[in-house]
Amino acid sequence: MLFPAPPPASDTLTLRLRLVRKHGHPLLLVPINGGSIAEALALYPAQTRLAKIARMLLRVGLPVGFAPGTEPLTLPCDRRAPLLQFLQSSQDDWICFAILCGNPRVPGRRFILLTFDRRGRPEKIVKVGVGEIANARTRAEAAFLKSIAADVLHAPHIIGEFREGDLEALAFQYAPGKNPSQNDIEPLASLLTSWLDTNRRARLADLPAWQRLSAGCRGHDLFRRLETTLGSAELHPAIHHGDFAPWNVRVHPVTRRWTVLDWERGEAAGPPGWDWFHFVIQSELLVRRAPPRTIGARVEALLRSPAFQAYATAAGIESVSRPLVLAYLLHFVEVTPPAEGAEPARELLHHLAHQW
């Protein structure tokens, strides 16, 4: 529990929030007073048309007290609790925040909090983990972000860390803006090209992602086929995000600079192309719910596009792009199976393996 009940005679802070559920599970807690409802709702990265409509209706209805399907929630907290102190405004002792509750089906889920100042302006994003699995993810993200400059990663700067009992948290600079679309090819290509290490070549077999794939899929027929093609391939390794999807990117409304979030799977040397494949394929799987044939055509169009071909030449993968797509998908479904979209991804893998 993030905020245990305050003890008797404590300095109690009572937070008044509105609870939004998804499929019966708590999804989002929005402050009724003191914060920006629009910014709080933006914590939930709605991607499908239905989810975007629901979020828009909440954005209109919550300020006037009309939000069917939501629940009022009163949360008494001990103002002196260390986590609450960590969340308070940098300007004074003001405490106001929204909470994205995370996916309950994911082991070690973390809670994402957005804090506000007295004027209702967003101040910082705080990721809070409870328990060892969640805290291991927090530590992994912190370690990676400290190993490479935030400006290189286009990552938000860490501005605070917290540990107490079974809670661990990271605070980040707030990154304003909306998610990019798949049509934002130029900034996408520029960012991913900047992550290539063009000063050295490495064998794919020596990269951690391939070693995980080898360990998890040694007996898989497709892996044996890919190992023949890719096992000795040499390429320029790339900074690898591991979940590079539109909903993990914010585009600044003025500068248009991309800020990339959620680096818990980040690696300094990964297979080039995998983040680009993930960006395209996950949108097709989870947002458009497209069938394998349609996604396959979308992937083919990507591989033939001038932007990707220029990237592939820079990465040294122009002759192995298709096998790399299959390796990415095999890793996605067998090594890091997601809470959502695993079966459609498996169908896509079978479709492309048969087609190619």
Amino acid 308 reads F
pTM higher than 0.75: yes
Instruction: Please report which helix (H) or strand (E) contains residue 345, including its range.
Output: helix 342-355
Instruction: Please report which helix (H) or strand (E) contains residue 4, including its range.
Output: none
Domains in the chain: ranges and CATH: 12-173 (3.30.200.20), 185-355 (3.90.1200)
Q: State how far the Cα of 39 lies from the Cα of 320, in Å rounded to an integer.
A: 42
Cα within 13 Å of Cα(299), Cβ side? 33
Model pLDDT for residues 249-308, shown as the tens digit of each residue: 999 999 999 999 999 999 999 999 999 999 999 999 988 899 999 999 999 999 999 999
3-state secondary structure (DSSP) of residue 334: helix
Q: State how far the Cα of 7 lies from the Cα of 78, in Å rounded to an integer.
A: 7
Q: What are phi and psi of 196, to 5 degrees?
A: -75, 140
Determine if residue 289 is left, alpha or beta; phi over 0 gives left, psi from -120 to 50 gives alpha, anything else beta: left
Residues paired with 161 in a beta bridge: 170
3-state secondary structure (DSSP) of residue 279: helix
Q: State how far the Cα of 259 lies from the Cα of 60, in Å rounded to an integer.
A: 27
Q: Among 58-62, 64-68, 136-140, 200-204, which is the least confidently predicted range?
A: 64-68
Q: State how far the Cα of 308 lies from the Cα of 32, in Å rounded to an integer.
A: 46
Better-scored residue on pLDDT, 255 or 63: 255
Cα within 13 Å of Cα(35), Cβ side? 31
Residue 320 above 90 pLDDT?
A: yes
Strand pairing report for 110-116 and 258-260: unpaired
Model pLDDT for residues 121-155, shown as the tens digit of each residue: 999 999 999 999 999 999 999 999 999 999 999 99
Structural tokens at position 76? 């008494």
Model pLDDT for residues 148-195, shown as the tens digit of each residue: 999 999 999 999 999 999 999 999 999 999 999 888 999 999 999 999
137 contacts 110 by C-beta, under 8 angstroms: yes
Instruction: Give me the pLDDT at residue 7, please.
Output: 81
Residue 202 burial by CB count (10 A; 0-12/13-18/19+): exposed, middle or buried? middle
Q: Which residue has the tokens 């790339």?
A: 238
Exposure b/e, 40-67, CB count within 10 A at least 16 = b = bbbbbbbbeeeeeebbeebbebbeeeeb
Give the count of beta carbons closer than 10 Å to the beta carbon of residue 141. 22
